[in-house]
Every structure is written in C-alpha cells, then in structure tokens.
Amino acid sequence: EKLAQRDELIEMVADIIAFESFESLRTGNFDFHTGAYRVIPVVNISFINGLMYFWTATSSKRGIEIAEAEILRQCRRIFNGFIDPILFEALKYRKYASWTSMFRGYTDILAEEVISHIVNGDWDLKKFHTRVDKIKSLNIDKVKRMAGKLFSAPQGFNYAKVYFGPE
C-alpha cells in the first residue's frame, strides 16, 4: 500500500485482531481463572520504525497462555484473508468517530496528535489534515494486503512476550 495510508491500515489490522480476540476470549471462555478482561491493541509508528502489540489482563498465567494463543490465531486468520465485513465497517466508523471527536472538545488529545505528527516528519501537517480522508478510503482488500505484508516472511509470526503479575 502507499506509504501515505500505511499507518491507518496497520491500525485497522490491529483493531480487527484485538476485537476478534476479545470476542472469542469473552464469549468462548467462561472459566473465571483463565478469562481475559480485555485485549488492547497498541500501534506505535514513527518515520523510523513501527511496533504493534497487544496487552491483556487476566487472573492467571494460564489465562495469558490462552489469550496469547487466541491473538496468534486471529493474526493467522487475518493473514489468511478473513475479515468480517460488518465488523470492518463498525471499526472503520469507530476510527473515524474517534479521530473527528478530537476537534469537538478534546484539545489535549488534539495537541498530542499535532505534536506526534510534527516530531515524526509531518512538518506541514499534511498527513494530519488528510487522515480523515484516509480513514474514509479504507477497504477490506487494502487491509488484507497489509495483513499479508505484516505477517509474511521475514517477519512471519515472530513476537516477544512479557508477563507481569504475581506468578
């Protein structure tokens, strides 16, 4: 995909994986000790590098193992081209609403976004001002292609994991 829309595509891949993982972990697992309370995607992209990661909260190490397996399963699903069209449209709208809401009263978040764009090379804020159009132009095929790039060789499904907790 064009570099201009790369960030939005990567964010959408992460949002889909997180939503599908959370749904599966919450609706398919009723064991209190292995359930996940949330699956949060975080995407940090700069003009130098990028990182996508997910974090979850659970009450046991076994719960983390289950959540990890589910997140990896969802990575493989999206890599293989599965994206629910209804979910895609809902997440796209959520991304649009989140971005546009900054301009209606969340000046602290707006200021952070402006600063982030400037320090990452968007000196004239062109990417900043065209983000809403990039979000509107997202489609499933573009997201599938980006997922294919993110999860294919040499990156593959390589990942690191860190545990925080009492165990």
How many beta carbons lie within 10 A of that of residue 58, not counting itself? 21
Nearest to 16 by CA among 131, 101, 94: 94
User: Tens-digit pLDDT profile for the chain (167 aa)?
Assistant: 445 578 899 999 999 999 999 888 877 776 776 666 677 887 877 666 677 888 888 778 888 888 889 889 999 999 999 999 999 999 999 999 999 999 998 899 999 999 988 988 889 999 999 999 999 999 999 999 999 888 886 555 667 777 776 55
Delimit the domains of the chain by residue range: 3-150
3-state secondary structure (DSSP) of residue 150: helix
Domain 3-150, architecture per CATH: 2-Layer Sandwich (3.30)
- One-letter amino acid for residue 17 of the chain: I
Q: CA-CA distance, 43 to 52, in Å (whole number)? A: 4
Give the global pTM.
Answer: 0.85
